[in-house]
Structure 1
């Protein structure tokens, strides 16, 4: 557990927090209403990408500058802010005050366009950016140079190992309560799709029937050329038997806290997938809420909800797909750049 304090005066700026991987859906803009907090209460994540001002247009950036920032294909603009922002839920901050002259936004709230808009209450040093505008996840981003992590007092360390994955990380349902596809699913699928396409080397990919095919097959078939020998894809990870024969590409879970991918034995190429989505694909929960035989007694009304059905067919989100693809060196290959430019 970690508490973040002001680097200038050591004032406490957060509650005790446990680190988790940065969410795949963290950069999505959704709809035109208020979104919930990006981070779960009591957790924080480090965004490895530069964020915030100053921003520079792609036309004003040299190829060498873009590559130095890990971008290998054109984007609309790049942040030249510091990487490594510490992202927390707004309710987990302490001892901060708004900086009124930096509270601009696009619509109903704050979007961080002017840089840090939260200051340390004790010393007045700008320390973080509050974001809560419409279509944006609610979050507070501590500037990495403005805060310092310290161990929380009397807090037992909490670790998650691969063996405990099933107990610690329940599978995220693919459909939200409103009947639409869960944005965590579409975003995670978009990130993984970029890695799958890059790993294909331009060959078609044969995915197993079932949830994996429902998630990826239609889009992969549309993006990759047919007619070449197909590469095989399968799920692998803790709790699953090793697939036989060994496929060319394995879909493996990312550790929910470190973000590192599970490493399979052998030479098959591993492609990461968010642990919450991987759990649902690997161990789909299709159990009946009532016994399969018999019937409800007379006079008893059914009170369990019917299974949710989506409004349309599943599509991985194109925003995280393109975001991830632009940051893979393989996108400089002509066949993959063509897919990127057409997306």
Structure 2
């Protein structure tokens, strides 16, 4: 376990925490209500990309400089803040005070638009950014330049085996699609398109088809040639497919080694549901129950519109894949970015 301390005065800034992988939904904006905490208590994650102000618009940067920063397609603006920001749960922060003049937000809380809004209570240095406004996952981002990590003797956060990984259902208790799912599928979809090489991808029937097939059919050309996609991971028999949908461990960041096919990563909690809940549909059904669909009493709630991946998360991910420089994939990016092709992100 480690703690983070103030780089200037050495004051303690967090309780003991263990590192986990950065969630796919870390930078997602969703709805107009406060979202839950981004991370579990006792954990932290590192964002390798630059984040926060200052921001520079694409026209000012140019394609060459953007590519040097790992962005390969036009986006409105890029952060020129420091890389390596550290995400921690709000309840794990210690020894900080708000900076009143930086407490702006859109609606219900703080969104970090003015940069770090938490200062070290001992020396007054700006050390972190608290985000708890509506539409944002609640988190504190420690400024990598203002903190230091220190090993401490404390019980380690238990690392779950593949078999112990929990599932995140696609539908929330209120009957709305899960934003975690919309972000995780969007990230995987961007990588899946890159792996497709511009040819149609065939997805076997089941939850994976419900999640990915509408988007793939809308964005890739019809007809042959084709590539096959199949889930691969713990507890599943080996299947021959050109593309393997594999889980990414939420704590270690480890990728399941499928041994066959081009691997496309999906958050483990979403992958577990796709792999082992073939009796659940991700779209509303009308009339009689089709073969393979089982009845609960009462039946589970389903949203009134089909599942859709998160458009902004998709674009953010695709813009950072070198493959987007290929004309066919850049054309897909441009259509989605300027909303000429709203399907399958809007219905």
Given the alignment of the two structures, is residue 166 of structure 1 paired with residue 163 of structure 2, yes or no?
A: yes
**Other-structure match for 1:341:** 334
Is the Cα contact below 8 Å between 2:34 and 2:134 reproduced in 1?
yes
Distance 2:76 2:299 in 1: 43
Per-residue CA deviation, residues 50-88 of structure 1 (Å, 9 max, x unaligned), is: 110000011100222111211000001100011111011
Task: Count residues in correspondence.
Answer: 320
Moved over 4 A (4+): none
Q: How does 1:83-98 map to 2 (within 5 A)?
A: 83-98=83-98
Give distance in 2, aligned partners of 1:336 and 1:178. Answer: 37
In structure 2, the partner of 1:175 is: 171
Among 259, 264, 276, the alignment partner of 1:265 is 259
Q: Per-residue CA shift, 1:132-178, capped at 9, x if unaligned?
A: 12211211100112111122323246334xxx2121x2110000111
Q: Give the alignment of 1:233-312 within 5 angstroms.
A: 233-243=229-239, 246-266=240-260, 268-284=261-277, 306-312=299-305
1:92-131 paired onto structure 2 within 5 Å: 92-131=92-131
Q: Partners in 2 of 1:275 and 1:33 — Cα distance?
A: 26
Mapped contact 2:23–2:250 kept (Cα < 8 A): no
> Structure 1 residues 157 and 28 mapped into 2: Cα distance closer, same or farther (>3 Å)?
closer
Counterpart of 1:196 in structure 2 is: 192
Whole-angstrom CA distance in 2 between matches of 1:252 and 1:30: 26
* Deviation larger for 254-263 or 183-192: 254-263
Structure 1 stretches lacking a partner, 5+ long: 288-303
CA distance in 2, matches of 1:156, 1:256: 16
Q: Which of 226, 230, 237 is equivalent to 1:230? A: 226
- Tell me, which stretches of 5 or more residues in structure 2 are unaligned? 281-296, 337-347
SS, match of residue 129 in structure 1: strand
**Match of residue 345 from structure 2:** none
Contact (CA 8 Å) 2:95, 2:120: kept in 1 or not? yes
1:187 aligns with 2:203: no
Partner of 2:332, secondary structure, is helix
Which 10-residue stretch deviates more, 193-202 or 29-38?
29-38
110-119 or 304-313, which deviates more:
304-313
Q: Tell me if structure 2 keeps the 8 A contact 1:34–1:133.
A: yes
Q: Which moved more, 1:312-321 or 1:192-201?
A: 312-321
Where 2:241 maps in the other structure, the secondary structure is coil
Contact 1:18 1:158 in 2 (8 A): no
> Any conservation in 1 of the 2:17–2:157 contact (CA below 8 Å)?
no
1:29-68 alignment runs, 5 A limit:
29-68=29-68
Q: Give runs of aligned pairs for residues 207-222 of structure 1, distance below 5 A.
A: 207-222=203-218
Asked if the contact 2:3/2:149 (under 8 Å) is kept, the reply is yes
Contact conserved, 2:16 with 2:154, CA < 8 A, in 1?
no
Residue 300 of structure 1 corresponds to which residue in structure 2? none
Supply the RMSD in Å over aligned alpha carbons.
1.6
Q: Deviations over 1:228-247 (max 9, x none)?
A: 2110110111221111xx21
User: 3-state SS of the aligned residue for 2:141?
Assistant: strand
Highest Rg: 1 or 2?
A: 1
The TM-score normalised by the length of structure 2 is 0.88
1:227, CA displacement in angstroms? 2.1
